[in-house]
Amino acid sequence: MRAETQNIIEAIEKSLELLRQRMDWETAAHRLEEFNARTEDPDLWNDPAKAQGLMRERQMLVDKIETVKSIQQDLSDNVELIELGEMEDDAEVVAEAEKALAALEESAAKKELEALLNGETDPNDAFLEIKAGAGGTEACDWASMLARMYVRWAEKRGFEVDLQEEQAGAEAGIKSVTYQIKGHNAYGWLKSESGTHRLVRISPFGKGTRETSFAAVGAYPVIDDNIEVEVNPADIRIDTYRSSGAGGQHVNTTDSAVRITHMPTGIVVTSSEKSQHQNRDIAMKALKSRLYQMELDRRNAEVNALHEAKGDAGWGNQIRSYVLQPYQMVKDLRTNFETADTKGVLDGDLDAFMAATLAMDVAGKSRADANAED
């Protein structure tokens, strides 16, 4: 067996080992038996919310067990094919099995990363906010480019994207936009994107000069019924107003848009769907998500690298730079991961950046630690 193939096999085995460790493989079968016993309780569905939560937990465990078994089986099958092919001097069989192993290595590595998304709200849907920062019209245009980038990323993953609120720029682009991204682990992936994003390019607005623009991105988990966040009615102000989108597919004109202001923190959330009742519900969920995230950040201030660079959307606070002129480069300043494929990134190819940040956070490194190693 070729040395390169042996290295791939070892990499897959390492991923399997880490997957088993993350899910406590030795107790997995016993925990599944317990879940199965609880689902057979005739009184389970007397509390639908609790029952749904239990079923979700059970299914997540089933998925993890099946993932490990599937990778292990595919590994064994292809190793056996290679050995048989070599015995029979069948180069075609060996080549096909080696190709399958290379694909399996990539798949196992992705599953290994996903296994690291084990925070309380990592599996949840996410609210994603994008706001133009320093740079005027240029920044508003940059904010719209980021919005397109994240929508493309979400669509590639099969996630559902719902526009919650959008404020058009005075001349071009958007001042702000909020989406709800729906899909398994949506927040777990998007949380690494919170911070200031910097763009360097030649101005597309007839100036012909190189311009630097900033936009702030914030990701917050959608809080489900299993997590309680209390909001004192006396602490909020609810306003209704007429709102209209920037045009195109986001046209949205209604007299029932809702804005909720949380006075103790200054948090403002809005929703512009057609139903005022629906808007109140969405906006309240968004507010609870923001308050929950603030509490998480407060608890983990000394180790939380995800939001440490958020600050104002301007010089000195960026987490990632996108340079389109005089050269092509996107670089994350926390992990030092970079690529020259700027077009791919702006079309939503963000997984490598998210994975690098996730791996760094799991390793317990701060942004300063990562930069110090550069």
pLDDT tens, 102-141? 999 999 988 887 887 877 788 889 999 999 997 789 999 9
Q: Which burial class, exposed, middle or buried, applies to 88 when counting CB atoms under 10 A from its CB (0-12, 13-18, 19+)?
A: exposed
Residue 303: its pLDDT value, please?
A: 36
What band does 150 get if pLDDT is binned at 50, 70 and 90?
A: very high
Residue 57: its pLDDT value, please?
A: 86
Q: What is the mean pLDDT of residues 230-259?
A: 67
Residue 161: its pLDDT value, please?
A: 95
Residue 224: its pLDDT value, please?
A: 64
Rounded percentage of the chain residues whose pLDDT exceeds 70: 85
Nearest to 368 by CA among 200, 197, 360: 360
Cβ-contact 212, 198 below 8 angstroms: yes
Cβ-contact 190, 126 below 8 angstroms: yes
Tracing tokens 């989406």 back to the chain, one arrives at 179
What band does 250 get if pLDDT is binned at 50, 70 and 90?
A: very low
Q: Tens of pLDDT along 6-60?
A: 999 999 999 999 899 888 899 999 999 999 999 999 899 998 888 888 898 899 8
Distance between CA 51 and CA 33 in Å, rounded?
A: 16
Residue 70 or 258, more confident: 70
Residue 247: its pLDDT value, please?
A: 40
Residue 337 has pLDDT above 90, yes or no: yes
Q: Cα-flanking dihedrals φ and ψ of residue 173, to 5°?
A: 65, -155
Q: Tens of pLDDT along 76-85?
A: 999 999 999 9
Residue 316: its pLDDT value, please?
A: 55
Residue 329: its pLDDT value, please?
A: 97
Cβ-contact 16, 68 below 8 angstroms: yes
Cβ-contact 141, 175 below 8 angstroms: no
